[in-house]
Amino acid sequence: MAFQTEPPGAMMTSTKGYACPATPCSLDVDRSDEFDVTFEKPGFRPETIPVRTKVVGTGAAGMAGNVIAGGIIGIGVDAATGAAFDHFPNPVVATLVPDSLPSAQRERRRRGKTGV
């Protein structure tokens, strides 16, 4: 799976123990794992994104093939190994929001002015 942020350089951690020190990054993730990803970068608000699994198109076709050729055992193997699943979203992309407005924007707001 791929993990990206704008701006880049955020630390990524997940509820399943997956982590990388700075985005962008890619990790091998168990296909059946569902988890939440949190991106953190100094000066920005943390952003958490849920990552879930769904049956992919080829997974559904594979399951149908298992019914014909392998029966319940084939379906059980695909379900246990996660072969019929993929993660959504993938890539996981977050746009980080600054902790506070730059001083020039704060000053304009204080004076009641908008725009640049």
Q: What is the pLDDT of residue 29?
A: 93
Helix (H, G, I), strand (E, B) or coil at 38: strand
Q: Which tokens belong to 60? A: 């559904």
Burial (Cβ within 10 Å: 0-12, 13-18, ≥19) of residue 10: buried
pTM confidence score: 0.66
Predicted confidence (pLDDT) per residue in 39-56, tens digit: 999 999 999 999 999 887
Cβ atoms 21, 27 nearer than 8 A: no
